[in-house]
Structure 1
């Protein structure tokens, strides 16, 4: 079987970690949701989903494995749009089943897109969802079709969308000064039932949050990351305070390397603050985080990280190792890496749509499965949404985070899901 076969393709470098580390608590699934101004017609959503697959053929794949590697295989399976039937970020990948790696569902006025991370990252999923929403509106409102679809046109060929950008930009000679890894403080406490997530969202005016960040002479991402570090520090036991609080921050590599891929193309950096060695004020935490962002977010540094992570898969000896052993190695490495971060924050950024679509779309949000605590940030229109998913029953970190914003004069609307135990 040739790797250039039109029917299959190996997983990209970032995708390989997910199959051996997925479980019921952390399914490696993320959900993008779009709220419309009217209830969703499921039949039309089904048509829109099938049309969107013509633009993103990589989504019509199943995950399989051989003796030495996992791979995506093209399939004729047709996704079936269902009413929302389970909690967010439920398990999609099942090694014993041959199923698609994404699902589309709806509930009242909300369209949900859930994706297994081996298929794509947040940028690829968002492009798919935007195309799906515009196809939906174009089918429902034919006079708007030209305006909707001409603006949403994904300016890339099929081969560019299916490209493995990690392989394209792999440079074995690329190196940069590596930052010494530090172990992080860790949250402890009672956990929610397996397969469930505690979800808390804060919705606020994006303009006011941007102005607040500007008053600290920094970006929105740096400010929110700093606030999250402080929120964690409020809950860290005193005996752990000698360790820093460290968060992982996913980075869209398309912003640093030319790529239109609809597959994974992201990196991760770690940023932190040691509250036992500094005053812990927002100003001081921002200064430290800002410096770490400046140091880590360069094409040179990100390219070096990419090269280091990709090196093994380009080594002929390592490639000959059976998959069962590779899985064990990756699982062990992932377990060890868990001690180096307390949680994660991801800024998807500003979501935009064609003008013809905007009257019909109220809000976007995004959730990610986790066995710790993660925040996802996105904005649409005049609203900024910060969505926390957590494996813990306690919501104190989220409370400390949003309190910093309200105390700074930012109005925050809080929404939350209800777990069964919450109702007892």
Structure 2
């Protein structure tokens, strides 16, 4: 295979700029994709697969550097080495002024883990890397498997398509001052309910993962006239409500929902390309049963996912980035502004729900794979879900040791006759 040309340096895309400024030991801005096989992982073959895949994705051989005005990615000759899992889930990957790769491949028993610092890629981009890694591992491990080519799903086009800054590509102009004023008006909205709890001494993110039949959960969602994501988000709101003190139920709950912009704009980028939407729910106005919650959440999804709203958000963020005033600020001042803005936004968000979607694998490989799952470092409780075949993995990430919301969530599904396999890093 012809080796791809290296990228000497690359400025961060619009979404990536916030992660180096906000990353810390409590919230590392690292996410994990995990693939559970039916057999123990062979580390030598996994390293062989990684050596093969890294040639296809030179972005992943980058290190993060600090400039005078912005962070940027710089190519490196660092060879990625697999390791047996020995750190906490989503341990730090970015260290200030230290040249380290922004991803980690580890294994434990029959599980392969890919952990990624969010400034490098989003979950959809990282899934392409993970898919190729698993594809090559199984092919090297089992010589009897023959495919004409690697699954098209995971190859990310040409080098320029992989490296594309799709935010810049689809930016159609905007007024930075007007955008800033609108954001300040939005920030004056009522505070959202904040989930409280006690953290572990080592600041470890607590992961509670429930694996179940995707078909069974979809049937339950359809019984409520909802998509899978709408149903899971609604059930999350319901579970939070059941855990709230009575005098807190006057406050609104706001879920932050990342949106994969590749669904709306043609892009093969391996970098970040996502927006977000907020789903707010007021119990005092709409009721507290799941039947009350689902229609409101469904309507919010319908409204927020209109392409014109996503385009307005993209243009707003890009216009701020390209404004002369902000561009001339030195990096430490930009970092301070981003941290302040993040603290303001935090007050308007209760929790997060993200659906990576259905993971498709060639039939020849599926017999070797039990499931995929996704987890994230967390400064607030969040749910990330993905499905593989009929296996749906719903992962709760939380900075808190309390697990009442998770119990209510999974207990509801269990009472509907859905069999759930629970695992945890506790």
Instruction: Tell me the residue number matched to 1:346.
Output: 354
Question: Is the counterpart of residue 11 in structure 1 residue 19 in structure 2?
Answer: no
Aligned with 1:99: secondary structure? coil
Aligned with 2:173: secondary structure? coil
Instruction: Tell me the residue number matched to 1:421.
Output: none
Aligned with 1:62: secondary structure? strand
Instruction: Tell me the residue number matched to 2:29.
Output: 28
Q: After superposition, give the CA deviation of every residue in 1:219-278 in whole Å (9 maximum; x if it has no partner).
A: 010011000001111222333222111111111000011100000001111102111222
**Separation in 2, partners of 1:390, 1:41:** 31
Give matches, 1:228-247, under 5 Å.
228-247=236-255
Over 3 Å counting, the alpha-carbon distance change for 1:153 and 1:399 in structure 2 is closer
Instruction: Tell me the residue number matched to 1:269.
Output: 277
Give matches, 1:146-165, under 5 Å.
146-147=147-148, 149=150, 151=152, 154=155, 156-165=157-166
Question: Is the counterpart of residue 64 in structure 1 residue 74 in structure 2?
Answer: no
Give matches, 1:372-387, under 5 Å.
372-387=380-395
**Separation in 2, partners of 1:350, 1:33:** 14
Give matches, 1:20-99, under 5 Å.
20-99=21-100
Over 3 Å counting, the alpha-carbon distance change for 1:327 and 1:155 in structure 2 is closer
**Separation in 2, partners of 1:34, 1:137:** 12
Question: Is the counterpart of residue 300 in structure 1 residue 303 in structure 2?
Answer: no
Q: CA deviation at 1:382?
A: 1.1
Q: CA deviation at 1:152?
A: 5.2
**Separation in 1, partners of 2:220, 2:246:** 31
Q: CA deviation at 1:189?
A: 2.1
Q: Is the 8 A contact 1:122 1:348 kept in 2?
A: yes
Over 3 Å counting, the alpha-carbon distance change for 1:340 and 1:319 in structure 2 is same
Q: After superposition, give the CA deviation of every residue in 1:99-137 in whole Å (9 maximum; x if it has no partner).
A: 000000001111000000000000011111000000111
Q: CA deviation at 1:173?
A: 4.0
Instruction: Tell me the residue number matched to 1:319.
Output: 327
Q: Which deviates more, 145-154 or 332-341? A: 145-154
Q: Let me know the Cα RMSD of the aligned residues.
A: 1.8
Q: Is the 8 A contact 1:148 1:354 kept in 2?
A: no
Question: Is the counterpart of residue 283 in structure 1 residue 291 in structure 2?
Answer: yes
Q: Which deviates more, 346-355 or 187-196? A: 187-196
Q: CA deviation at 1:197?
A: 1.4
Instruction: Tell me the residue number matched to 1:116.
Output: 117
Q: CA deviation at 1:407?
A: 2.1
**Separation in 1, partners of 2:149, 2:297:** 40
Aligned with 2:17: secondary structure? helix
**Separation in 2, partners of 1:49, 1:115:** 14
**Separation in 2, partners of 1:9, 1:50:** 23
**Separation in 2, partners of 1:305, 1:184:** 21
**Separation in 2, partners of 1:196, 1:30:** 13
**Separation in 1, partners of 2:18, 2:146:** 40
Over 3 Å counting, the alpha-carbon distance change for 1:212 and 1:226 in structure 2 is same
Q: Is the 8 A contact 2:34 2:374 kept in 1?
A: yes
Aligned with 1:12: secondary structure? coil
Structure 1: runs of 5 or more not aligned: 419-424
Q: After superposition, give the CA deviation of every residue in 1:284-308 in whole Å (9 maximum; x if it has no partner).
A: 1111000100000021111111111
Q: Is the 8 A contact 2:68 2:330 kept in 1?
A: yes
Q: CA deviation at 1:147?
A: 4.4
Over 3 Å counting, the alpha-carbon distance change for 1:125 and 1:6 in structure 2 is closer
Question: Is the counterpart of residue 202 in structure 1 residue 210 in structure 2?
Answer: yes
Q: Is the 8 A contact 1:147 1:356 kept in 2?
A: no
Question: Is the counterpart of residue 355 in structure 1 residue 355 in structure 2?
Answer: no
Q: Is the 8 A contact 1:92 1:101 kept in 2?
A: yes
Instruction: Tell me the residue number matched to 1:406.
Output: 414
Over 3 Å counting, the alpha-carbon distance change for 1:378 and 1:184 in structure 2 is same
Instruction: Tell me the residue number matched to 1:366.
Output: 374
Q: Which deviates more, 316-325 or 106-115? A: 316-325
Question: Is the counterpart of residue 190 in structure 1 residue 228 in structure 2?
Answer: no
Q: Is the 8 A contact 2:354 2:385 kept in 1?
A: yes
Aligned with 2:112: secondary structure? strand
**Separation in 1, partners of 2:195, 2:393:** 24
Q: Is the 8 A contact 1:79 1:100 kept in 2?
A: yes
Q: CA deviation at 1:30?
A: 0.3
**Separation in 2, partners of 1:207, 1:391:** 30
